[in-house]
Structure 1
Amino acid sequence: MSGNLLRLRPIVHATPTATGLHVRGWRSSFSLDGGKGLWTIWERLAGPLAEGVPPAQLAVPENAPPAVARALELLIGQLHEHDMLVEVPAHWGGHAPPEDIANWLAAVAPSPVEAWQRLRSAAVAVTGDGALAAHARRALVAAGVEVSSVRPGAGLLLTADTHAVAAGCAADVGFAVAPGAVADVTADAAAVARRLAGAAGAPPEVLAALVASAAAHRLVCALGGLPDPSTEVVDMWSDVPPTGPPHQAVLVARVDPLHAEYHPWLSEVRPREPGGPVLDLLGDRELGPVPAPLPGALPQLPVKLAASGDVVGFGATEHASRLDALLRAARALAPDGVALGADRVHALGLALRTAVRPLGGTPVAEDEWAADPTARRWWKAVTLRFALPAEVEVTRLGPRVVRAVVRADGEELSWAVEAEPADAVAFAAMAAAGRAQAGVAGTVVLCGAAPFAEPDGAAAPWTNRDWHWPYGLRDGEEAFQEDLRALAGDVEPVPLGPVLEAAGLVAFAVSEAGR
């Protein structure tokens, strides 16, 4: 573009460090080491860039000393790499945006001119109740967007061409869903309102203003081709955006105390590809379809426990127990007769283990597992710590397939199927101990197919299996599943619907070999 200037984005700031400088932008930052002279070079570079320079002039002077030339080259390269420079017109002409809008666009827009043209050409229809509609209109006008009409209606709906944003506000909580088509955003808004179950009554003025302004902000960003506000990185200790495919993000605001933040939303009408942390998606404290799994007041020794509503999960670590609780709670949302797992390997492992469970085999002698420290630890937890009159039956079903069943007073407490006797006994005993510790009924099943998080120090050279069991078992899970298939045949996947599948959960039909 002719007549353009290359400008430092207004949101970019720098601070000197003991050995150089640190530069922060909207979405990323960088640090350079090289001595205190770097700060002097930065000040001389940043001054002209704050006002804007012709792109051809942003180059290393030919007569610059070698050290200065290297520093300038590195600085300029880092500014480009971290998107801290933007092209803006030297003169906007007769349709210039107000100064505050021009600075905002220069701070966040990939192309401020393009973004302003889109905003100027848009006309937004506002449909909503009094306070929400009024505050949304005010925010849109302040951003330079024309409001074509304001009509009464329930909640808040902002529409312009193919873009729409819906929001709602109860007496204690409000929300704004992700931009999209009218039918999608209204369906999501209705579902979010049901999930939040806000208190009846008119919202406080401050809450209505916050929600309406946030909805207007999301629509303005969609109209201008700007990133949605939910994608901003707010963790000051990390410049890395969240991993995994993006999911619908809903702004949730509350008044006691007044705060607002984005939460992942598993939409039935706008499903995304599976990915992202299962715990964060399914158990989100505001919008998760199952209650957030937390240790709460549950005892944590010897088994880690977590509760998702009335459901208790078990594990060797807090992460494992929270994941187990979340999956047990999610089973209420899944079809009957399926093995539900955190991913394909987990679900398939559970289904195949269930399939081989009733098979006959040969008894395994106690000395094949009793010398293993992990198996012995969990068996002692059952018989000594909880003083259960328990017995464990260990059976070899195939060359590398072993079943362990724990019973007490004729009642089956737990079972496990693993490749090694020690692992089968350890899982079955841990499950039986956790059952006693939590005071719950029913048979508890745990297995090595679950995705166990790597514990601190697992890679240290002095650690072994006893330090971090069951982490590492899953490395051999796929080979073990081939052994299970040889005994049970294959199992079929079962569709779970858009919500659970978007969270990454997988299910297989449960059948038992020989039945």
Structure 2
Amino acid sequence: MTAEPETHRPRLRPGVAVTPLREGLHLRGRDTSLTLEGSRALPALWQVLAARLGPDAEAAGAAADAAVEPKVAAALATVTARLREHGLLVDHPDGERLPPWPGSVADDPGGAAAALAAARPVVAAADPDGPSARAVARALARGGTAAPAVVAEPGLPPGRVMAAADGPSGRAVAVAVQCGADGGFVTEPADPARARVDATALAARLGPAAAPAPGAAPPPVFLALLAAAGAQRLLCAVAGLPDPGEPAEDPRLLAGRPAVLIAEARPPRADYHPWAAGPGAVAAPPGDLAEALRRVDALGDARLGVLDAPSPGELPQLPVALVSCGTPSGPLAAGAVRTDLARLAAACRSVELHLAAVGGGAVPVVGVDPSHALGRAVRWAVLGRPLRGDRPVPESAWREHPQAGHWYGALARRLGRAPDLTVRQLASEQAYLAQAEGARAVEATPADAVAHAALAALTRLLVRDGGLAAAHHAALSGAAAPLAAAGRAPAAWADPGWADHWLADVADREPDLHAALVRLTGLRTTRWQPATPGARPFAAALDGCGFTALVTGEGRP
């Protein structure tokens, strides 16, 4: 005899909430919502559909199929299709109870529940009878697994719990849960050896906040929060479900790098944080400015980052957008035409200053991709060489350009006089060096050079007048223009007086400028490699963000 094929019916996911509207419905699921409007009949129609999609769907569906008119049946089919498009339905075998979890998230709730039931978790702690180990074991059992085995592992630090089980491929997967008096964390699911290494590194990074107080138990609510979070991450890995720390769920997180749940006890709260310096493959460079800034945020994450995050703080944003951040050798201030570009300039310079502080050879030039790094490197190389064969450029070559005129005029108004400005062409190349009040810029046209030099000089004045005693300054250069212009088409009516249009023009000129400056300097670049233990976290973080660090041999940037 052959078994009859299993019949599946669409079922409403557990946890979906429905609110009737005057002429429609609003439905909310775990991570999606849907609003249907346009008919006063929708709330009544929902009563019929809810019976079909509910726990007793088989009997209700058969009765309803015999009673509804064709028009109603068509309306029900349309609403059902919209629910499926938004992930609010799941197909489930007739006659089987749809489990609340993982039914609310899994594409195949039955298969996920079977995987959980077959799992045999092992919970290890220095004290297997302690509150942390018991809390994690209870959370795993409530998630649908067999009762976990709780074992003693004297080598684990106090407050540390390791939970492991076999994943979908048959390989063991584990998470580490650390619960201290004031804070704690949950590692990303990984093989048991890596989970232990990650936990050790994170405990060292987070310091005393994640360590338990001698003789004091963590607050019960806080312990329950961490235990549940650890169990959820492990159970999702066992059942083949997306990890709660997936970057797709949170744009702050980095693809290819661990997401760590970090919790605080007072008040109880938990957030996923990107661990840019954690283990993982080298990321591809960011494709546009928005993605680059998300990675800058990861570098400056308050708990796991390697930098102080560049921020506007209380600095003025007009006429120049200003940001600042701390570095090992003093405050750094950066300015640009927009705050996002100022943050980018500050982040790259901050990495360089951090690497200079940890030593270990030549300090690299940092960019978000190879072109950006090379653009910054060749400009540094020109600024570090003596001027030979350079020719002065008349004011008429740049005065009519709207950006050059704007930034020169803004600087003059701030000074109360005409700025001290010189512009020179570099040999016979299409490359120009402008110097305004001591600030210098190298760009592909006289106007671009004047605009950038005046902007840099204005940045220094505004920072000084704002009361920030900055030890270092950074300003926008044309090296960032290709990234700023990527995926953004200026409006047809815009001219170079608009920043987007100007940056797109600068981006178009950047490749030829690179070639000209390389001819002038003979610059050779190689990929930077960390030479000291202190540099390795920065190397890992740059790799995790897809950023580029180049050694030029042209001296310290």
CA contact (8 A) 1:400 1:483 kept: yes
1:20–1:495 distance in 2 versus 1, CA, 3 Å: farther
Provide the residue aligned with 2:317 in structure 1: 300
1:163 matched to 2:167: no
Structure 1, gaps ≥5 residues long? 236-240, 408-412
1:314 matched to 2:341: no
Provide the residue aligned with 1:197 in structure 2: 207
1:295 deviation in Å?
A: 1.5
SS in 1 for 2:44: helix
| 1:27-55 C-alpha deviation (Å, 9 max, x unpaired) | 33333444233333333112220125469
Determine the C-alpha separation between the residues in 1 that align with 2:442 and 2:73.
65
Aligned residue identity for 2:135? H
Provide the residue aligned with 1:186 in structure 2: 196
Query: Quick one: percent identity of the two aligned structures?
Result: 35
| 1:73-106 C-alpha deviation (Å, 9 max, x unpaired) | 43222233333222334455xxx8xx8xx21121
Structure 2, gaps ≥5 residues long? 167-171, 356-360, 465-469, 530-538
Provide the residue aligned with 1:410 in structure 2: none
Aligned residue identity for 1:156? V
Provide the residue aligned with 1:151 in structure 2: 152
Determine the C-alpha separation between the residues in 2 that align with 1:230 and 1:442.
36
Determine the C-alpha separation between the residues in 2 that align with 1:399 and 1:177.
54
Determine the C-alpha separation between the residues in 2 that align with 1:325 and 1:478.
23
Determine the C-alpha separation between the residues in 1 that align with 2:45 and 2:302.
48
| 1:207-240 C-alpha deviation (Å, 9 max, x unpaired) | 22221221111111111112112239778xxxxx
Aligned 1:238-277 pairs, distance under 5 A = 245=255, 247-271=257-281, 273-274=283-284, 275=286, 276=291, 277=294
CA contact (8 A) 2:256 2:544 kept: no
1:308 deviation in Å?
A: 2.2
Aligned residue identity for 1:396? Q
1:25 deviation in Å?
A: 2.4
1:441–1:226 distance in 2 versus 1, CA, 3 Å: closer
Provide the residue aligned with 2:432 in structure 1: 402
Provide the residue aligned with 1:328 in structure 2: 349
1:484–1:243 distance in 2 versus 1, CA, 3 Å: farther
Determine the C-alpha separation between the residues in 2 that align with 1:495 and 1:402.
28
1:391 matched to 2:388: no
SS in 2 for 1:21: strand
1:222 matched to 2:237: yes
SS in 1 for 2:255: coil
CA contact (8 A) 2:455 2:475 kept: no
CA contact (8 A) 1:171 1:198 kept: no
1:305–1:449 distance in 2 versus 1, CA, 3 Å: same
SS in 1 for 2:54: helix
Q: 2:118 aligns with which of 118, 121, 134?
A: 121
SS in 1 for 2:479: coil
Provide the residue aligned with 1:494 in structure 2: 527
Determine the C-alpha separation between the residues in 2 that align with 1:351 and 1:62.
76
1:30–1:243 distance in 2 versus 1, CA, 3 Å: farther
1:461 deviation in Å?
A: 5.7
CA contact (8 A) 2:124 2:133 kept: yes
Q: 2:504 aligns with which of 463, 472, 475?
A: 472
1:488–1:65 distance in 2 versus 1, CA, 3 Å: farther
Aligned residue identity for 1:38? L
SS in 1 for 2:373: helix
1:419–1:387 distance in 2 versus 1, CA, 3 Å: same
Determine the C-alpha separation between the residues in 2 that align with 1:120 and 1:332.
53
Determine the C-alpha separation between the residues in 1 that align with 2:103 and 2:188.
24
1:170 deviation in Å?
A: 3.0
Aligned residue identity for 2:47? E
CA contact (8 A) 2:15 2:30 kept: yes
Determine the C-alpha separation between the residues in 2 that align with 1:18 and 1:478.
59
Q: 1:288 aligns with which of 280, 288, 305?
A: 305
Determine the C-alpha separation between the residues in 2 that align with 1:15 and 1:489.
69
CA contact (8 A) 2:280 2:544 kept: no
Aligned residue identity for 1:143? G
1:302 deviation in Å?
A: 2.9
CA contact (8 A) 1:169 1:211 kept: yes
CA contact (8 A) 1:271 1:498 kept: no
Determine the C-alpha separation between the residues in 2 that align with 1:167 and 1:34.
49
Determine the C-alpha separation between the residues in 1 that align with 2:320 and 2:494.
21
| 1:265-319 C-alpha deviation (Å, 9 max, x unpaired) | 1244234634542222212222222122212233434322212223222222222
Q: 1:38 aligns with which of 35, 42, 62?
A: 42
Provide the residue aligned with 2:536 in structure 1: none
1:493 deviation in Å?
A: 4.4
SS in 1 for 2:102: helix
1:242 deviation in Å?
A: 7.4
1:434 matched to 2:459: yes
Aligned residue identity for 1:346? H
1:500–1:8 distance in 2 versus 1, CA, 3 Å: same
1:388 deviation in Å?
A: 8.6
Determine the C-alpha separation between the residues in 1 that align with 2:188 and 2:212.
25
The number of residue pairs the alignment matches comes to 493
CA contact (8 A) 1:27 1:232 kept: no
TM-score (norm 1): 0.84
1:460 deviation in Å?
A: 5.3
CA contact (8 A) 1:415 1:445 kept: no
1:508 matched to 2:550: yes
1:189 deviation in Å?
A: 1.9
CA contact (8 A) 2:408 2:419 kept: no
Q: 1:349 aligns with which of 368, 371, 375?
A: 375
Aligned residue identity for 1:104? W
Aligned residue identity for 2:423? V
SS in 1 for 2:346: helix
Aligned 1:16-95 pairs, distance under 5 A = 16-17=20-21, 20-51=24-55, 53=57, 68=72, 70-91=74-95
Determine the C-alpha separation between the residues in 1 that align with 2:41 and 2:494.
46
CA contact (8 A) 1:133 1:150 kept: no
CA contact (8 A) 2:313 2:324 kept: yes
1:489 deviation in Å?
A: 5.1
Aligned residue identity for 1:349? G
Determine the C-alpha separation between the residues in 2 that align with 1:64 and 1:464.
62
Provide the residue aligned with 1:238 in structure 2: none
Aligned residue identity for 1:23? L
Determine the C-alpha separation between the residues in 1 that align with 2:94 and 2:540.
49
